[in-house]
Structures are given as structure tokens and as C-alpha cells.
Structure 1
Amino acid sequence: MDKKTEGFSAREAAAIIGAAVFSPSERKTVTIDGVAIDSRNVKPGNLFVALEGERADGHHYLSEAARAGASAVLVDHEKSACVEGGWAAFATHSGLVVMTVEDPLVALQRLSRWWIDRFDTLVRIAVTGSSGKTTTKELLGSVLSMKAPTVVNPGNLNSEIGLPLALFGVGPADHFGVFELGINRIGEMELLSSLYHPQHLLITNIGTAHSGPLGGKEGVFREKTKVLAHMQGEGFVFYPEDDDRIDALKSRYPSLAFRPYGPATLTGLETVEDLGTEGWLLRYRGVSIHYPLLGQHNLQNGCGVIALAFELGVSPELIGAALSAAAPVAGRCRLLRGAISVLDDCYNANLDSSERVFEYIASLPWDGRKVIVFGSMKELGSSSLDAHRAAGQAIASSGVDAVFLYGEETSESFREISDQGSMSQILHFSENQFDELSERLLAFVREGDLVLLKGSRTMGLERLIPLLQHEEKEFLHA
């Protein structure tokens, strides 16, 4: 916000969210320039929003926010005991404007909605799905920025807390906004959609991620598609060409233009050549494009980006330039080449994304051995046992040379692989055995191997990357 606009006044914000205000007498007008919820990230002029989380409560870090240069704080009116003398006294001795509300998170969300609604010329695009959201959002943002100034949510700020923070990044110079919407509980999509109200939507896929808290695979579909009810105008909805469930929704939203996407349905896609570890070579409307992202799923999502960008007026030449410059996002099917190569796909995992990457490594030409390190898939609820069994079957069919399983849930995968697989090494480790996993993996790998890391974010498999890179240096200096 600080680089794009002059911000807004604390009293203006207080009026929007219905806050009581305690202000130092010498500060008649206070301008807010940016919003932060972590005192370590506060910059001069920021509004610090004190949120209570599972591990920390922002109300205990108000003094740190003041020292970092915050101009105002947004707090729970009932938590005055966290500061000496109450909120009025804290405002006086800290020099901060203090805004008190019943629920700081709700106030943050309301303020972010007011902020983005100021920019009525912004073309609002949402990206959602069970996997591939962040890569697709970044890719679409880079393509659209070739035509006009574009803002995207940083990293994966896509939740009930992250999205409001990301929306404050919108400024008057921006023409396109590309924001991913991520959910893990019932009702969250309705909240996020009501804050953003997208005009256009790109659905990457709707599978099994967070199927536990969302009520199974059909629950995921039901919750994800609730965004449609909050779309504004006569926008586009792009969805995967192999998902026929969308057809049942079209009659309910006659103002929206539904468009399937993928290599079989993308109008103007003339040829597709699989380059293996080099990505894809596409010819689109006469333009040759070297698209470096790996795997069929990235080809699919790339087709969605192309289709939507073309509808929004981006030329094939500019689309090609942006796609050719695409770089993989950490943890999302990123190939790290070396003496030991690592296929880093461990940002998150569900059955759909796991089966896709197992199929990919099975089909990938590789001179050395192939090794899979598979961590538990979390938040699958009652489908967890079946999902891990199915993942084990997919691994057993992949033809890799060795499998290292990590996490209690993968014991189901271990049984399936042991019954069906013919690997030289099949080992299972519990979640408290990361050191043992690391030791056995490093003892097994050798120069020329390809190691796939796949598992849910909470399993922390990315910790293996520097260990394997260190091992690579040992090979190179041997």
C-alpha cells in the first residue's frame, strides 16, 4: 500500500469498522500506510492488528509494534488488561492511536473490503481449486502484467486472515487483480468471496484437499463452488475440461460464461510436445512457446491461464513471452538438478496431486535411479485410510527403485507397496523419526539419482533438500 497510495486516516478506518478510538492529544490526524499482524513485520506508518492465534496473541506485542513505528493499533476492547492502565493510558504513553473493537479479525476483513471497493476499475480475478492455485495465480499474474499493471496476493496469503492482508496491496495504478482463494473449513469460501467479489474465476481442479473438514470430496466441490454466487457482472468461469460436475451449475448462473480449458479444448492451441524435464513446447495461435513447468497438471493449468488471458485481451505474443519466462514455485513440482536431483513437490499433498506426480515420475526418462519420499497426506478425514492405500498402489505401479515413507498414515501405503511393489528399498518412519529418515535416505542415494519429495506441508519434507544438496557437494568433491 505504501508505494501505491497515500493510505487512509485512522479516524476514517475507525468509522468504517465501528471502533472506539483512543488518541494521544498531540496527534490530531494519523495516516495509516499499510497493515501488519506480526510485530516483526511492522513498518513505519502501519496499522498493527492484534489477533489472538493458537501460539501467540498480538495483544502481547503492542509495545514491539510501537517501537517498529506503527501509527495505530487495532485491538479487542476486552483485552485492556494486556497493557498497563488500560487503552487510554496506553495511547497516551505509546503515542499510538488505539482502535478497539469486539473482534479485530472481523474488523480487519471489513476494512479490507472497504479498501478494495475504492478501486472500481480493477478487473478482479480469483483462482481457486484443491491444488495448483499458487503456481497458477503467479503465472496468470505474470501474463496479465505484460498488458497492464497487475497485483497478486503475495505467497499463499489466501485465507480468512491472509486475503484481507493481501487486498491492502491493491492501489489506484493496478488494472488487474489476481487473488487465490484457499479454504479449509465450511463457510470460508463465502467469507472470502464476499470480501473480494471476483468478476472472473479460474478453477484449477476440485479434488480431495482438506476433504476431512470440508465433508468429503463432494463437500470440497460444494464449498469451492460457492464463490460463483458472489461473482459480479457477466464474467468468465474457466474450469478443467475433464470436470463434468460443473455442467450442473451452469443453469444456476446464467450471467456467467463457463469455459472448459485444457490441451484438448483450448482454442488456438495447434501443437503440444512433451519435453520431459524441460517442460513443454506449445504452438498457440502461430506463436511457439517453451513452457518450462513440468507435468501434465502444469500443462492443464497453463492452458487455463492462456484461455483467460486471451479473453482479457492479452496477445498470443505477450502470453508466450510470459509463459516462456515462468519459473516453478518452491514446493510445487520444482526440479533441482545436481549430482542428486530433487523433484520438490512437498508444499502440500492430497490423493489427486500425489497420484499425478507419481504418474509423472513414472513416465519421466531418467538415466539414474528414481526414489520417492512420501509423507502423510493430512486433513483427509474419514477418507484418509483409503487415500493412503490408493497412494501406495500408485507408488507400487510407478516402477521407482526405492520408497521412503514418513508419517503414521503412510503405514497404509507401506502395506500396499510391500504387497505389490518390487523396489530394492521400502522403509517406513513415524513422524518422530525424521533424523532416522534423513540418515537412511542419505546412506542410500548416490550420484545420478532423482529424489521426489511429496507430502503435506506439516510433514516438513523440504528439510531434506539442503541435506541432499550437501550430499551432492560431497559427491562433487570426492
Structure 2
Amino acid sequence: MNIEQFYPLFSKANKVTIDSRKIESNDIFFAFSGDNFDAATLAEKAISDGALAVIVERKDFENTARNIFYVPSTLDFLQALAVYHRNQLDIPFIGLTGSNGKTTTKELIHAVLSEKYNVQYTYGNLNNHIGVPLTILSVKPGHEMAVIEMGANHQKEIELLCTIAKPDYGYITNFGKAHLEGFGGFEGVIKGKSELYDYLKEYNKTIVVNENDSIQVDKTENYEPKITFGKKDSDYYFESYSEDHCVGLSYQGTKALSKLTGNYNFTNLCAAVSLGLHFGIDQEKIKHAIESYTPTNMRSQIVKKEGKTLVLDTYNANPSSMAVSLSNFITFEGSKSIIIGDMLELGEESMVEHQNILKQALELGFDEIITVGGNFKKVNLTTLSFENTQELIEYLKLNGIQSDNILLKASRGISLEKALDFI
């Protein structure tokens, strides 16, 4: 089976899935093999459940009469199918990556552009070598734009994803201290994320630049075409303001207040609005998009509970995002407690980075500081510390937190959001 032969069948499908539990009528199921389970064993059942076709990488499970097709590698075939499909699509693709804020920015871009266009975009955090192809394969003939989030924790990953997604526009939210272990330090982060710039430059595509970010400015100096924001002489200039812990922006007299907390989200708003203006969307519609977007993904999410204001930011954490979260949270009015969990994938920098964050928290003078995770526990000798979230929950069952405002911030692996019900 080759891509050209298979593509007409794909064109008739409802969607592509790698999850046998989510198979619906007329789907295509890619049977990925894991360390402990071979999904090829589910091929016949998938067809019986209504799948249009199944791709397996075990020859003994092939049954072409039932549309079960063998390929040497399901991953390679998935990626090749995505590339082939992408080549058939004559619509703008917007690619974005970055150390912090890329998912929130992706959601905002989608919200803004959807005011005028039918936009497909990355669902959740399907932003890796499997998720990006799945997103591309979900683009249908009726879509007019696509927004593709690209994540990475090693060199050359963004380069690969660009060859699959082939973005026409690209934006890097920032360069921060994330995945230091995989990238080999901060300079490695810059190099790895800049692979998006490398692709865009090679194919003369458009780069979106925050001109308040010196790295972005340096990496795109003397390059055209680009869309700029941040400075008064940029293509687009915005002013920030805030109300009730939420950040907003003003452009040519039109003000839009988001439901996102944190001044660090201002640039995320700017990027989304810049693209909206570039693609001719009316300012009032952009205002509607910004003010209607409600974060529900554990990223800068404000939760009101029993008279308290909780900031739930537990989907990701690294030294850069943790530092700005603490600086933002200290500005809240009233008493403030923080529950901060380990920042993962920092390699040999882990100890010093956890020490730095704890030092910052102590200097800011929060009313209560609670840490969760083994990394923080090693360096936290002065405040309440727990080995894991379950230990925290057991403590919270017996002890309440009295502060008016509570911040929960940690890497995904800490699952700190599980403590929310006990606060």
C-alpha cells in the first residue's frame, strides 16, 4: 500500500484516530504498537465497529478484503499521508512554537481568526510528531485556515514538524528555560525553537515578531516578509491594561479585556490580534473573540471557589513561566498563598533552578508557601513541603488554606490540579 493508492480512501473518511476506544463509523484507525500492547490485534474489531480502514505494521494481520492494510511503519505512513494531504491544501497554515504560552496563543489565534474564517487548529496539546500529522489530516475541504502548534524537547523536532506542516506563517512565543535537559541548555532551546525561523526563511514565508523580544529581533533582522508588534513603529502597537486580575489590550481606541490572568499573557494577546488585523478582521469582532475566550485548560485559569480566587496553572511549568507567575500573583489584592510543584526536565540545572524559584517566593513575601515534589523538597528547608500531590491532599483534608488568593503552579507530571477539590 502506498500513499497515492490510499489517499482516495482517506478522502472518504470521517477522521483518523490512533485510539481504538474512539473509533466511529467511517474512521481510519492507525494501529500503533506500544511496549506492552500491539494495537494490530484490534484491527478486525475496528472494522466491525465501523472503521473504514485500518493501518497495521504486522503483515500477519493484513486483510485487504476488509480494508486492513500492512505498512512497514504506522508512524512513517501517518506522517507521509499528512504531508501528501498538506500538499493538496491551498490555505494559509500558521505554525507556532515557544517555551511558554504556545497553547494559549494558539487558542487565542483560533478564536480571533474564527470570527471571519473556518479555522482548523490543534486540539489540546497534540503538538508532537504524531499530533501534528493528526491535526493536518483533520483539515477538511471547507476549512479556510489552519493553526498548528508545534512542541519539542530536543533539537531537530521543530525541523521535522515544519517539513510536515509546511507553515506559511510562523511565530515563536518566546525562548525560555524549558526542557533544558533535552535541548542541552538555554542556547540549545534557542537553536531548537529557531528551526521554525530556518524553515520560514528557506521558503520565504512570513514570520510574526514580537519586537520587545531581543532574541526574536536578532534572529529575524533584515528578513522579510514579517509581521511585527510591540514597538510604536511596529506594524501593530498595543497598550496593556488590567481589571480584576485579568489582562487586556487597547488598539486604536478599541479595548478588549480577556479572562486570562498575568501580564505575561499580554504578548499572547498581541500576537493573536496582530494576525487578526493582518487577515482583515474587524476590530469589534476581534474584541468579541478576546472577551469571549474562556480558558479551561489549566493555563492561567481563574477559578472562584467559596469566596476565594484560585489561579490554576498546572499544565506546565519551567523556571521562566514560574518566575513570571509568582511576580504576577504577588500583585493580587488580599492575602496570598502559593502551592508550587516541581519543574521537570531541567537536567543538571534542576537543583539551582528550584532554589532560585523558592528564593524568589520567599523574597516576595507570600503569606504561605507550600511546595510539592521531590526536587523542591530537597531545597525547601523553611516552608511546608510534600513529596507528591497525594501527600498534599492528605494535609488539605485536615488543614484549610485561609488566604483570599491561592496559586497552583507545577509541571504536568505533578498533577497538582487534583488538589483543587480539597482547597
Fold similarity call, TM over 0.5: yes
After superposition, give the CA deviation of every residue in 1:272-311 in whole Å (9 maximum; x if it has no partner). Answer: 322142x134331221222221111111211111122212
8 A Cα contact 1:266 1:303, kept in partner: no
Structure 1, 155-164 or 340-349: larger mean CA deviation: 340-349
> 2:79 corresponds to which residue?
109
Q: Is the aligned partner of 1:414 residue 2:369? A: no
* Match runs of 1:232-251 below 5 Å: 234-250=204-220
* Match runs of 1:129-278 below 5 Å: 129-231=98-200, 234-250=204-220, 254-257=223-226, 259=228, 261-262=229-230, 269=237, 271-277=239-245
Q: Is the aligned partner of 1:59 residue 2:59? A: no
Q: Is the aligned partner of 1:456 residue 2:397? A: no
* Match runs of 1:298-337 below 5 Å: 298-337=265-304
* Match runs of 1:7-22 below 5 Å: 13=3, 15=5
- Counterpart Cα distance in 1 of 2:75 and 2:268: 33
SS of the residue 2:175 aligns to: coil
- Counterpart Cα distance in 2 of 1:270 and 1:239: 14
- Counterpart Cα distance in 2 of 1:350 and 1:265: 32
- Counterpart Cα distance in 1 of 2:264 and 2:233: 15
- Counterpart Cα distance in 1 of 2:310 and 2:45: 40
Structure 2 counterpart of 1:438, from 393, 397, 420: 393
- Classify 1:264/1:212 alpha carbon distance in 2 versus 1 (closer, same or farther; 3 Å): farther
- Counterpart Cα distance in 1 of 2:10 and 2:283: 49
* Match runs of 1:396-415 below 5 Å: 396-415=362-381
> 1:87 corresponds to which residue?
61
- Classify 1:194/1:452 alpha carbon distance in 2 versus 1 (closer, same or farther; 3 Å): same
> 2:27 corresponds to which residue?
46
- Counterpart Cα distance in 2 of 1:237 and 1:357: 27
Q: What is the TM-score with the length of structure 1 in the denominator?
A: 0.81
- Counterpart Cα distance in 2 of 1:361 and 1:455: 14
Structure 2 counterpart of 1:127, from 96, 116, 129: 96
How much does 1:147 deviate? Answer: 1.7
- Counterpart Cα distance in 2 of 1:55 and 1:299: 44
- Counterpart Cα distance in 1 of 2:264 and 2:5: 46
- Counterpart Cα distance in 1 of 2:287 and 2:188: 37
How much does 1:54 deviate? Answer: 4.4
- Counterpart Cα distance in 1 of 2:373 and 2:410: 9
- Classify 1:440/1:263 alpha carbon distance in 2 versus 1 (closer, same or farther; 3 Å): farther
How much does 1:249 deviate? Answer: 2.7
- Counterpart Cα distance in 2 of 1:60 and 1:214: 37
- Counterpart Cα distance in 1 of 2:169 and 2:384: 46
How much does 1:143 deviate? Answer: 0.5
- Counterpart Cα distance in 2 of 1:167 and 1:48: 16
8 A Cα contact 1:262 1:304, kept in partner: no
- Counterpart Cα distance in 2 of 1:101 and 1:409: 43
Could you say what the CA RMSD is over the residues aligned between the two structures, in angstroms?
A: 2.5
How much does 1:387 deviate? Answer: 1.1
8 A Cα contact 1:208 1:217, kept in partner: yes
How much does 1:255 deviate? Answer: 4.1
- Counterpart Cα distance in 2 of 1:119 and 1:296: 37
SS of the residue 1:463 aligns to: helix
Letter in structure 2 aligned against 1:130: S
- Counterpart Cα distance in 2 of 1:455 and 1:265: 37
- Classify 1:236/1:13 alpha carbon distance in 2 versus 1 (closer, same or farther; 3 Å): closer
How much does 1:325 deviate? Answer: 1.0
- Counterpart Cα distance in 1 of 2:328 and 2:379: 19
- Counterpart Cα distance in 1 of 2:209 and 2:163: 21
| Long gaps (5+) in structure 1 | 1-10, 18-27, 81-85, 419-425, 469-478
State the structure with more CA Rg.
1
How much does 1:267 deviate? Answer: 5.4
- Classify 1:381/1:98 alpha carbon distance in 2 versus 1 (closer, same or farther; 3 Å): same
After superposition, give the CA deviation of every residue in 1:327-373 in whole Å (9 maximum; x if it has no partner). Answer: 1232101010021432100001000000011111111112xx32211
Q: Is the aligned partner of 1:393 residue 2:359? A: yes
- Counterpart Cα distance in 2 of 1:116 and 1:400: 50
Letter in structure 2 aligned against 1:140: I
* Match runs of 1:459-474 below 5 Å: 459-468=414-423
Structure 1, 160-169 or 389-398: larger mean CA deviation: 389-398
- Classify 1:225/1:30 alpha carbon distance in 2 versus 1 (closer, same or farther; 3 Å): closer
Structure 1, 154-163 or 233-242: larger mean CA deviation: 233-242
SS of the residue 1:341 aligns to: strand
8 A Cα contact 1:113 1:195, kept in partner: yes
Letter in structure 1 aligned against 2:374: E
Q: What is the TM-score with the length of structure 2 in the denominator?
A: 0.91
Letter in structure 2 aligned against 1:109: Q
| Long gaps (5+) in structure 2 | none
How much does 1:409 deviate? Answer: 0.9
- Counterpart Cα distance in 2 of 1:29 and 1:319: 35
How much does 1:60 deviate? Answer: 3.3
Letter in structure 2 aligned against 1:99: F
8 A Cα contact 1:14 1:99, kept in partner: no
- Counterpart Cα distance in 1 of 2:210 and 2:76: 34
SS of the residue 1:364 aligns to: coil
- Counterpart Cα distance in 1 of 2:17 and 2:108: 26
SS of the residue 1:282 aligns to: strand
- Classify 1:284/1:266 alpha carbon distance in 2 versus 1 (closer, same or farther; 3 Å): farther
Structure 2 counterpart of 1:370, from 336, 350, 354: 336
- Counterpart Cα distance in 1 of 2:169 and 2:114: 16
Structure 2 counterpart of 1:354, from 322, 334, 341: 322
How much does 1:70 deviate? Answer: 1.1
Letter in structure 2 aligned against 1:283: S
8 A Cα contact 1:389 1:412, kept in partner: no
How much does 1:447 deviate? Answer: 5.4
